[in-house]
């Protein structure tokens, strides 16, 4: 039928934009919040994405599976907002 299958190329993941301990804005269930990154890991469902666990700085709620720019359904980091926020923290 066909020849041998080609091996799947696995791309090297980019270095994550934010580190554990960074304070960043994010959305959770449609509401804007500010939180601290607790855990950073590879997304088990998508090899080329990072997944964050974030703790809300106001009420201490821990939110697992926070994605980037719409990659997760309920919790998300908007990179444009987060970049401007983290740049303000460096001043």
Indicate whether 6 belongs to any domain: no
pLDDT in tens, 5-39: 665 555 676 788 889 999 999 999 989 999 999 99
Q: What is the mean pLDDT of residues 46-66?
A: 89
Q: For residue 25, give the nearest of 63, 72, 82 by alpha carbon.
A: 82
Domains in the chain, number: 1
Domain containing 66 equals 23-89
pTM to 2 decimal places: 0.75
- Tell me, yes or no, whether 8 lies in a domain: no
Question: In this model, does residue 63 exceed pLDDT 70?
Answer: yes
Residue 14 is assigned to a structural domain of this protein: no
Please give the backbone phi and psi of residue 86, each rounded to the nearest 5 degrees, phi first: -70, -30
**Is 63 part of a structural domain of the chain?**
yes
Residue 3: predicted pLDDT = 65
Nearest to 35 by CA among 1, 66, 73: 66
Q: Is residue 49 situated within a structural domain?
A: yes
Is the residue at 29 inside a domain?
yes
Q: Does 82 map to a domain? A: yes
């Amino acid at each position: 039928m066909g020849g041998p299958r080609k091996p799947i190329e696995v791309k090297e993941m980019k270095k994550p934009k934010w580190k554990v301990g960074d304070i960043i804005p994010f959305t959770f269930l449609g509401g804007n919040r500010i939180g601290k990154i607790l855990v950073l890991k590879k997304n088990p469902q998508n090899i080329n994405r990072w997944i964050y666990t974030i703790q809300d700085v106001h009420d201490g709620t821990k939110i697992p599976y926070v994605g980037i720019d719409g990659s997760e359904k309920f919790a998300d980091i908007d990179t444009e907002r987060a970049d401007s926020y983290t740049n303000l923290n460096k001043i």
